[in-house]
Amino acid sequence: MSTSANPTRLEQAQGQAAHQEQCFHYLCAAVQHAYELRDGITGVPGALFPRQGLVFDAYKPYKLDPILGIKLHPRPDGTIHPGDIEVYQDTFKGNWKYVQGGVLYAMGEKREFWNCVLNWNSKAKTTGNGLWDSLFRKLKASGYKRDVIPCMFFNMPSGCLNPNCAFKHNTDKAVAARDHVLKKRRQVMNQPTPRQRQAHLLARNAREQALVPVSISPLEEQEGDDELVDNPLYDMRVKAYCANIACNRPWFADEANPLRACTRCKWAYYCSKECQTLDWPRHKREPCAPIEQIIENDELWDNLTRNGTGLMGA
């Protein structure tokens, strides 16, 4: 159906076009270093300390509103700490929307994106992402042509609704990005969830009366040290848990499998029929469906975590 024949679709297409155009100009301003850093911004909701921001008076092709109240933390030489850059890029790599939507979509994470930009415009000369670095150089060399930049909607569930879209529509790269997302989700489905690991650690701490922090990360920082080391609380021997979180019986790699898979979905495990019956109301809502149906349904996922499986209390 054409956009002209459907007023709602036409309005959506116009909204996409306007938003993408604005994002493109913010990107051009980023690559051109056409912004000024502001500090000491107060009154930001939830912020205990003054925040920073960016103003774009130096960028003339398009009126860009300032971005205020975000945490920007360049060091005296203008660079951002490499560890912070790595964390920010992990945010983008771990979120299916940014993987499929590309750099224009990633601009929605203002703190993460603009700290990477500050690093790009410093002596470090990198955003921490080789693909972004290459794209920034190509955009600059092209004279800031739109068809250098991937369309932020082309590989999203809505699709690009603008029949005159000037941004790049690359089907092969879109398919590859989607395949990457599905591969990562498939891996997640075959691993214990953060909530299961957390419940296991809480139970173990209670048994051992250990006053230690609960962490589900396989790596953590030692006190007074920026280097990441093996987290002793992260038990890599566990292959799966009983899906009834009140039970959470672990299956250790060095033992015979004490769990049985749900006969319908094949990915939820239980140590007994009783646990499966008790957990059915929750598991039914997940929903109980084959893995391929779960990983294809974007509404069931938040970043690389399936809805309802993240840390309790987070």
pLDDT digit string, tens, across residues 280-298: 999 999 999 999 999 999 9
Same domain, 49 and 62: yes
Please give the mean pLDDT across all residues of the chain: 88
Residue 225 in domain = no
Alpha helices in 194-290, H assignment, sequence order: 194-208, 273-285
pLDDT digit string, tens, across residues 115-163: 999 999 999 999 999 999 999 999 999 999 999 999 999 999 999 999 9
Spatial CA neighbour of 297 closest among 196, 192, 195, 181: 181
Please give the tally of structural domains in the chain. Answer: 2
What integer pLDDT is reported at residue 3 of this predicted model? 61
Q: Assess whether pLDDT exceeds 50 at residue 87.
A: yes
Pick the residue with more confidence: 224 or 281? 281
Same domain, 121 and 202: no
Residue 269 in domain = yes
Distance CA(24)–CA(3), nearest Å, equals 23
Beta bridge partners of 289: none
Q: Assess whether pLDDT exceeds 90 at residue 311.
A: no
Q: Assess whether pLDDT exceeds 80 at residue 171.
A: yes
Same domain, 18 and 110: yes
Distance CA(61)–CA(223), nearest Å, equals 48
Residue 103 in domain = yes
Same domain, 163 and 184: no
Pick the residue with more confidence: 220 or 73? 73
Residue 221 in domain = no
The predicted model scores a pTM of 0.82
Taking residues 257-261, what's their average pLDDT? 93
- Indicate the residue among 137, 169, 201 that finishes a domain: 169
- Residue 9 three-state SS: helix
Q: Assess whether pLDDT exceeds 80 at residue 236.
A: no
Same domain, 17 and 39: yes
CB 220 within 8 A of CB 228: yes
Tokens 């089907």 label which residue? 171
Q: Residue 6: CB partners within 8 Å, gap ≥ 6?
A: none
Residue 219 in domain = no
Task: Using pLDDT thresholds of 50, 70 and 90, give the confidence band for residue 218.
Answer: very low
Q: Which domain holds residue 192?
A: 171-209+231-314
Distance CA(71)–CA(91), nearest Å, equals 16
Residue 214 in domain = no
Pick the residue with more confidence: 312 or 274? 274
Q: Residue 61: CB partners within 8 Å, gap ≥ 6?
A: 25, 28
Q: Cα 239 vs. chain centroid, distance in angstroms?
A: 25
CB 80 within 8 A of CB 86: no
Same domain, 295 and 275: yes
Same domain, 311 and 292: yes
What integer pLDDT is reported at residue 223 of this predicted model? 38
pLDDT digit string, tens, across residues 29-77: 999 999 999 998 877 787 778 889 999 999 999 999 999 999 999 999 9
Same domain, 20 and 145: yes
Distance CA(299)–CA(65), nearest Å, equals 31
Q: Assess whether pLDDT exceeds 70 at residue 227.
A: no
Residue 194 in domain = yes
Task: Using pLDDT thresholds of 50, 70 and 90, give the confidence band for residue 219.
Answer: very low
Taking residues 7-24, what's their average pLDDT? 93
Residue 220 in domain = no
Q: Assess whether pLDDT exceeds 80 at residue 4.
A: no
What integer pLDDT is reported at residue 228 of this predicted model? 37
What integer pLDDT is reported at residue 62 of this predicted model? 97
Pick the residue with more confidence: 235 or 186? 186
Same domain, 128 and 177: no
DSSP run (H or E) holding 24: helix 7-32
Taking residues 172-196, what's their average pLDDT? 95
Spatial CA neighbour of 236 closest among 259, 255, 253: 253
Same domain, 127 and 11: yes
Same domain, 14 and 158: yes
Same domain, 76 and 142: yes
Q: Return the percentage of the chain with pLDDT > 70, whole number.
A: 88
Q: What angle do CA 206, 212, 215 make, to 5 degrees?
A: 95
